[in-house]
């Protein structure tokens, strides 16, 4: 299981668990994958078969605009390599071009409605959704499904992440969804520069 999931079950801070993994101080076996992800193999939680074994595993790659098609292909290739490394036999990759701030993404909606898709793999949390990705993850878990985030390391704290989501939402309304991300990043950069 991923660090964040194990930390939540053990009532620990994920950053502490990542530190323990890097320092080799984990009380249970861990695995460092070639992609840089830490997987925790706790016998207390791995008594049931892995969700990867049952149902379909689908990789979902998304970019915001059509001028990022090259990035979309590279993202899809990285996801496919990650899934193969996890032992997934028949890797299916779904790519989509659309804003992460709205819910009108046909391919993602189709995947979320399909009960045969038991595992959904995304590269970063914001590739699934810019805001409320945690709600999607909770809904998947409630139906016995799983969301795997390849790179779940977040350098920003909770407050900065929340501020980014709020700024992205406001910029989307003010300037249109297309340039919302860019304007939110500029606003955050200005805030960071003022602190220094």
Residues 6 or more apart in contact with residue 50 via CB below 8 angstroms = none
C-alpha span between 170 and 168 (Å, rounded)? 6
Residues 6 or more apart in contact with residue 155 via CB below 8 angstroms = none
143 has catalytic annotation: no
The CA–CA distances, whole Å, from 122 to 78, 125, 166 equal 10, 7, 22
Q: Name the active-site residue from 50, 64, 143, 179.
A: 64
C-alpha span between 141 and 135 (Å, rounded)? 10
Among all residues, which ones are annotated catalytic?
A: 64
């Amino acid at each position: 299981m991923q660090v964040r999931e194990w930390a939540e079950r053990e009532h620990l801070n994920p950053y502490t668990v990542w530190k323990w993994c890097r320092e080799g101080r984990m009380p249970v076996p861990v695995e460092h994958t070639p992609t840089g992800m830490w997987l925790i193999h706790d016998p207390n939680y791995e008594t049931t078969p892995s969700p990867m074994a049952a149902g379909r595993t689908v990789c979902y790659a998304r970019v915001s605009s059509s001028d990022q098609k090259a990035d979309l292909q590279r993202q899809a290739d990285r996801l496919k390599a990650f899934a193969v490394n996890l032992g997934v036999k028949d890797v299916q990759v779904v790519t989509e071009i659309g804003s992460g701030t709205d819910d009108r993404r046909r391919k993602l909606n189709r995947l979320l409605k399909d009960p045969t898709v038991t595992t959904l793999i995304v590269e970063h949390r914001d590739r699934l959704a810019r805001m409320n990705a945690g709600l999607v993850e909770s809904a998947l878990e409630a139906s016995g499904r799983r969301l795997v985030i390849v790179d779940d390391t977040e350098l920003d704290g909770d407050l900065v992440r929340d501020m980014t989501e709020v700024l992205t939402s406001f910029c989307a309304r003010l300037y249109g969804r297309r340039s919302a991300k860019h304007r939110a990043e500029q606003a955050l950069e200005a805030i960071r520069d003022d602190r220094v």
